[in-house]
Amino acid sequence: MSGPSLRERAIGCLARREHSRAELARKLAAHGSPEEIEEVLDHMTELGLLSDARFAEAWVRGKAARFGVARLRHDLARRGVDRDTVEAALAAETGEDELARAREVWNAKFGHTPADGREWARQARFLQGRGFAAEVIRKLLKESPDESA
């Protein structure tokens, strides 16, 4: 008994969560030839079960509250989603107010203005690691606590 077919494996992966085409190809690589994998991926796309655009939108929707645009863009590119699809998903899901999202992340972690340069740098590194732009970080950390209310 050889186990599930390539098609069954693909459907099983897609039943658990959305995948990009490149992710699914990587997961199936050990179970078939490149030609067989391409054929299965094409079939899944035709059936509407596999969509990079839907994957990107779901990814951004799930992560946008915790990460900045730069991090989301990087993560999607790493998962094999093309640039145009990434930009469309970011535009649709993140909106224009990255400062508000950064403020929410910052409030959850710190909630107080930095007391000195060392604390300012620590908070800035945290926000930078979450993918927020340097301009957004500077604006946020220079606000007084009553400005954000």
Does residue 149 have a pLDDT over 90?
no
Residue-range domains of the chain with CATH: 1-50 (1.10.10.10), 98-142 (1.10.10)
For the stretch 124-145, pLDDT in tens is: 999 999 999 999 999 999 875 5
For the ranges 11-20, 79-88, 89-98, which has the lowest average pLDDT?
Answer: 89-98
CA angle, corner 82, sides to 23 and 37, nearest 5?
A: 35
Query: pTM higher than 0.85 for the full model?
Result: no
| Cα 144 from chain centroid (whole Å) | 30
> Measuring CA to CA, which residue among 8, 4, 36, 10 is closest to residue 23?
10
What is the radius of gyration, based on Cα positions, of the chain? Answer: 20
Does residue 146 have a pLDDT over 50?
no
Q: Mean pLDDT throughout 66-79?
A: 94
Alpha helix stretches (DSSP H) within 1-149: 6-16, 21-28, 34-46, 52-63, 69-78, 83-94, 98-109, 117-129, 134-142
When mean pLDDT is compared over 81-85, 97-101, 139-143, the highest value belongs to 81-85
For the stretch 14-66, pLDDT in tens is: 999 999 999 999 999 999 899 999 999 999 999 999 999 999 999 999 998 89
| Cα 113 from chain centroid (whole Å) | 28
Residue-level pLDDT at 92? 85
| Cα 134 from chain centroid (whole Å) | 19
Residue-level pLDDT at 97? 84
| Cα 22 from chain centroid (whole Å) | 15
Residue-level pLDDT at 46? 95
End-to-end CA distance of the chain: 64
